[in-house]
Chain A
Amino acid sequence: MLEDTIVAISTPVGWGGLGVVRLSGKRSLPVAKKIFRPKKKGAKIPGRRPLLGNLFDFEQKEFFEEAFLTWHPQPHTYTREDMVEISCHGSPVILEQVVRLAIKAGARHAHPGEFTLRAYLNGRIDILQAEAVNDLIRAVSYKQAKISFHQLEGRLSGQISSLRDQVLHLLSQIEARIEFPEERLRTSTERTARTLENLIQSIIKLIDSYDLGKALTEGITLAITGLANVGKSTLFNSLLEKDRAIVTPHPGTTRDYLSEKMEFKDSVFTLIDMAGLGKPLHPVEKEGIKRGKRLASQADGILLLLDISRKESSEDFRLIDMFKDKKTILLFNKIDLPQKMNTEEVKNRAKSISTLEISALKGTNLGKLKATIHALFIPDLEKDQDIIFHMREKLILEEILAFLVEGQHLLEQGYSEEVYVEEFRKTIPLIGRLTGEIRSDDIINDIFNRFCVGK
């Protein structure tokens, strides 16, 4: 399998103007030469520098696009194999044509993540980085792509890598007391207990972040709900900037649900339009409401619409209560019409839920709405903490946590240092699987950096 030369589009389709097709394997260059002709006739293909030329359809015998070709000879490449990059117009039609021709010329379509697999198998990257790359490939949002990129750079920034330091510090304190009983050390069991507690807390935080990481990997789903005819479909269309859902003046227009992706800033959201959650007038509607409720309960957030051109009703309050445990934005719609609803009264009932007055029809405050959504669902990761994306990481962290808690228990019960430190020592290989390895020399180094010991 590793003998094959593989090809794939390497930029996610629909992202910006330029597209790249990559080839990897022994026959990368011969394959590429069949579909690429340099501008300067007979020009030699230089290593690692882009060469301008035209893409050639060898079946139709015609040139179809201008492109750059870059040849990366092995082993200094991502996969450690010969690689070729063809960059041209980002249109999916052209990119797919390049891939099709490359396959005709002897390459094989790469399996998902196969470039990364090769990089891993050829010893170019470690498993942690490999996972990050795979996320990059599957990244739903640009934000996540950015996070994955950071991981890829071997810079598991922030807390995960500081975890290693914290564990190291925990160990070095205890070991210093054991190894240097004759020295006056600025450390104590109390201090160790504090370091330990802090460490436990940051691990718990990381474990908790897994849910958020998951939401980011799979995207944020927002359900647009409200009673019939409040303007759900109108909002759905306005946010998507296209006429996707049918809008009529009659209640009960939308019966089944619709879902579409909305891009905003660096993120992608999945919007769901659904039947109004009022009293059903028709059996079909009844089924639609059931589905709607289920979708809303599974969604990451709710956009709950109220029609201010009508008086508030007990139905409205019932819906507010229904979603009180979910992340909800309460939207007073149709502000272009005369107001009948006592919005202050409703706001009081809704308490902590964030609210906004909009007109789905006229587009009033929709920019603000998007910003609110973004702020509420996409955490500011630059100053916020690291997020873990993988079940594997979560499981390792949970294992580490278990040892730390056991050690804490022994410490509190008055066991001697060499006993409870055994529990902490068990986390060393686990940390190694998460970030960099901890070697016994590292612990000793840390002792000498922190404590003035030795005679």
Chain B
Amino acid sequence: MKFVDEYDVIVIGAGHAGCEAAYATSTMGMKTCLITIHLETIAQMSCNPAIGGLAKGHLVREIDALGGIMGLLADETGIHFRLLNRSRGGAVQAPRAQSDKALYRLTMKSWLEDVPNLTLFQGIVTEILIKNKKIQGIATLEGNRLLAKAVILTPGTFLNGLIHIGLHSYPAGRANEPASLELAENLKKIGLRTFRLKTGTPMRLDKHTIEWDKFTPQPGDKDPVAFSFRTQKKLENKILCYIGYTTPKTHKIIGKYLDKSPLFSGKITGIGPRYCPSIEDKVVKFPHHQRHQFFLEPEGLETAETYVNGISSSLPLEAQKEILKSIPGLDQAKILRPAYGIEYDAVVPTQLCPTLETQAIQNLFLAGQINGTSGYEEAAAQGLMAGINAALKIKKKKPFTLRRDEAYIGVLIDDLITKGVEEPYRLFTSRAEYRLLLRIDNPDQRLTPYGYRLGLISEKDYESFQNKQKKVQKVKNLLQKEKIKTESRETLSLWEFVKKPEVKLQNVIEYKKFQVNLSDEEMRHVESEIKYEGYLKKQEKEIARIRKIDSVKIPENTDFRKIPGLTREVAEKLEKVRPRSIGEAKKIPGMTPAATVNLHIFLRIQQRKGPHPEECSTWNIKDS
């Protein structure tokens, strides 16, 4: 068997997960190959032209704080910026930006081309080579074999991809791009359980055929907020988005075509995401709604393509055309690319370790839609974590995982591996137990020290992070020291005063004429720390309590079947996985809170000490 090349890490698929993974491994010193079907479609935004939003914007900031690239790139290529939930508190504000799609793709490619240790390679992977349940390399359709110590698989919707437009369907990974059929077969052979998911994308219209004055413009923010703390350049809004509505006539047309819908006729068996419902879904589920809102979003500066956010559909093209005719302003609109639905294979994510390594095959990592998620940001976050851990494993270093109280990334991965998914998984802020802690104004505080230690944050960036921390701390001290007399004649520290719901920190600082020189971003950070202080303190205590429980050791000789109150399934799982701490036990799929309590009580009764836990049994740690 001949191998043409040898790498530390091979990343399969150059989507949002793959790019982030490859960037991380190569930056951490791994000789990396990023292999993809077309080099032209690196970091292609397959669906909407936007990045961020609630929870997703949080993810991008966390990726950035760890040293990932998505945030920098979104800032670099953004053409419309908004900070969502400005009327609400800092914990639920999040940036959302539209990018110039072509620019995003091209910029990513040129950035990756400049990354040391990283090779881009065009090819179609047909097989993952395994020896003794451990990664050996890959084989491509072109007949090449590449050796690798670790493989990160990020195939998006390409595994067994099947596109539906009306009752017509054809295999594809994305419109007119070949699906990965052999690889999908190969995964099953390896022993990974897969299931079908479904997603969809709306039609793209020719901007010259839209009557724009029939729609309400939605401008970007006057003071655009960047994703990345490292972005220096001034952000500019270069386009407007527009808001429009469907009509009762639209809904009648959709009703007429339902028998031609692959969704409603039962042709599509994969489960679709409910937060990205197709227009036919919305009309059927909410028949009393007279209209549904949609957004018209230009896909870039150099293109006429316009994304119709809100009218995703897998109805036949003639239905799509009729739908447009029923909407004032779009009645003359020309479809450049039809809307379609796509079904694809995903791997049951409960087969993964918390590091995103598969339990079945050593050094095989999975990230992105293959793990049952949806969204560019969710993909990128997993790509980054898979990349970091692949590099750490090869270096024989301790794995890197984030807890639910540390980052949305922790919430995301923990949900995936312990609960599994039933529909494409999207992150929501309500999935986090400690939402007031996981804000967009403090990911650097939470994660940048990790990123620095991992080698993903440069000296220079780390220094400016530390300077910012110092500057902010000074302001905090000042606010705690300085007093103010309120209208009701009580004397309060400024800190306490700002806790009142009607008080704004900005106004206090201006009123007191402080020369603190905080950026808007830093101002928001300090304000959140003050306003949420009571909750944060209580939550910290709670977190400490839970961590203590999580660290309770499980003796090696524990017979889990003897623990009262556990269902047989749970006991059997525990027997199989043999977790070494309650924290590890909690990460076992299907472990209920009640089962955890039972286990804890049992251990308290036993009160014996056990060995030190490590996340995955195959990790081989050199130093600590």
A binds B: yes
Q: Which A residues form the contact surface with B (CB < 8 A)?
A: 120-123, 126, 171, 175, 178-184, 413-419, 422, 429, 432, 437, 440-441, 443-444, 448, 452-455
Q: How far is the CA of A422 from the CA of B435 in the complex (A)?
A: 9
Give the Cβ gap from B421 to chain A, nearest Cβ, in Å: 10
Complex interface: chain B residues within 8 A of A418 (CB):
88-89, 91-92, 435-436
Kindly state the separation between the CA atoms of A183 and B310 in the bound complex, as whole angstroms: 11
A178 near B88: Cβ-Cβ < 8 Å:
yes
Those of B172-219 within 8 Å (CB) of chain A: none
A414 touches B593 (CB 8 A): no
Contacts of A443 in B (CB 8 A): 430
Q: Which residue of B lies closest to A432 (CB)?
A: B593
Residues of B contacting A175 with CB < 8 Å?
A: 428, 430
Q: Are B89 and A419 closer than 8 Å at their CB atoms? A: yes
Given known A181-B85, A417-B88, contact A452–B292 (CB-CB < 8 A):
yes
| 19 residue pairs from A and B, CB less than 8 Å apart | A121-B565, A123-B566, A175-B428, A178-B54, A178-B429, A178-B430, A179-B55, A180-B54, A414-B502, A416-B501, A418-B436, A419-B535, A422-B435, A429-B593, A444-B428, A448-B274, A453-B275, A454-B273, A454-B275
Chain A nearest CB from B425 CB (Å) reads 10
Q: Which residues of chain B from 519 to 562 have any CB-CB distance to chain A below 8 Å in the complex? A: 531-532, 535
Question: CB distance B88 to A444 under 8 Å?
Answer: no
How many angstroms from the CA of A409 to the CA of B298 in the assembled complex? 44
Chain A residues near B48 (CB-CB < 8 A): 455
Binary A-proximity of B261-278 (CB < 8 A = 1, otherwise 0) = 000000000000111110
Say yes or no: A444 contacts B430, CB within 8 Å: yes
Q: Which of B92, B310, B564, B593 makes the CB contact (< 8 A) with A417?
A: B92
A179, B309: Cβ atoms closer than 8 Å:
no
- Pick the interface stretch among B34-42, B128-136, B282-290: B282-290
- Complex Cα–Cα for A444 and B48 (A): 22
Chain B proximity of A186: nearest CB distance (Å): 9
List 19 other contacts, CB 8 Å, given A123-B567, A126-B594, A444-B430: A123-B564, A123-B565, A178-B54, A178-B85, A178-B88, A178-B429, A180-B54, A181-B88, A416-B89, A416-B92, A416-B501, A417-B89, A417-B92, A418-B88, A419-B531, A419-B532, A422-B535, A441-B419, A444-B428
In the bound complex, residues from chain A placing their C-beta under 8 Å from that of B282 are 452
Q: Enumerate chain A residues within 8 angstroms of B567, measured Cβ to Cβ.
A: 123
A407, chain B: closest CB distance, angstroms: 12
With a CB–CB cut-off of 8 A, which chain B residues contact A419? 89, 436, 531-532, 535
Q: Is the interface of B mostly helix, strand, loop or mixed?
A: loop
Q: In the complex, how many angstroms separate the beta carbon of A338 from the nearest chain B beta carbon?
A: 71
Q: Are A179 and B88 in contact (CB under 8 A)?
A: no
A440 to B85, CA, bound (A): 21
Q: Is the CB of A181 within 8 A of B84?
A: yes
Contact present for B292 and A122 (CB under 8 Å): no
- Nearest-Cβ distance from residue B367 to partner chain A, whole angstroms: 22
- Could you tell me the distance in whole angstroms from the C-beta of A154 to the nearest C-beta in chain B? 14
B82-125 interface code vs A (CB 8 A; 1 in, 0 out) = 00110011011000000000000000000000000000000000
Evaluate whether A122 and B564 lie within 8 angstroms (CB atoms) in the complex, with A452-B289, A454-B277, A455-B276 already known.
yes
A455-B535 in contact (CB<8A): no
Q: Are A455 and B309 in contact, with the CB atoms below 8 A?
A: yes
Q: Which of A179, A414, A415 contacts B54 (CB 8 A)?
A: A179
Q: Cβ of B294 < 8 Å from any Cβ of A?
A: yes
Given the complex, which residues of A lie within 8 Å of B285, measured CB to CB? 452
On chain B, the number of residues with a Cβ less than 8 Å from chain A's Cβ atoms is 45
Q: Are A455 and B91 in contact (CB under 8 A)?
A: no
In the assembled complex, B568 has its CB within 8 A of some CB on chain A: yes
Query: A450: nearest residue on chain B (CB-CB)?
Result: B286
Tell me the smallest distance from the CB of A247 to a CB of chain B, in Å: 57
Contacts of A415 on B, CB cut-off 8 Å? 501
Distance of A233 Cα from B289 Cα, bound (Å): 71
Whether B274 lies near A454 (C-beta < 8 A) is yes
Query: Nearest Cβ distance between residue B272 and chain A, in whole angstroms?
Result: 10
Distance A240 CA – B299 CA, assembled complex (angstroms): 88
B501 and A414 contacting across the interface, CB-CB below 8 Å: yes
Tell me whether B295 is interfacial, beta carbon within 8 Å: yes
Interface digits, B491-535 against A, CB 8 Å rule (1 contact, 0 not)? 000000000011000000000000000000000000000011001
Q: Which of A126, A429, A440 contacts B430 (CB 8 A)?
A: A440
Q: Which A-chain residue is minimally distant from B535 (CB atoms)? A: A422
Q: Which residue of A lies closest to B564 (CB)?
A: A121
B396: interface (CB < 8 Å): no
Residue B481 lies at the interface, judged by CB distance under 8 Å to chain A: no
Q: Which residues of A contact B532 (CB under 8 A)?
A: 419
Whole-angstrom distance between the Cβ of A415 and the nearest chain B Cβ:
5
Q: Verify if B293 is at the interface (C-beta below 8 Å from A).
A: yes
Contacts A178-B92, A418-B436, A448-B274 given; indicate if A183 touches B293 (C-beta within 8 A). yes
From A120, A179, A416, give the contact of B565 (CB < 8 A). A120
A429→B433 CA distance, assembly (Å): 11
Question: B168 on the interface (CB 8 Å rule)?
Answer: no
Nearest chain B CB to A371's CB is how many angstroms away? Answer: 46
CA–CA, A144 and B258, complex, Å: 53
Q: Which residue of A is nearest B531, CB measured?
A: A419
Query: Considering the chains assembled together, what is the distance between the CA atoms of A413 and B531 in angstroms?
Result: 14
Would B429 and A179 count as touching, CB distance under 8 A?
yes
Complex Cα distance A417/B293, Å?
A: 24
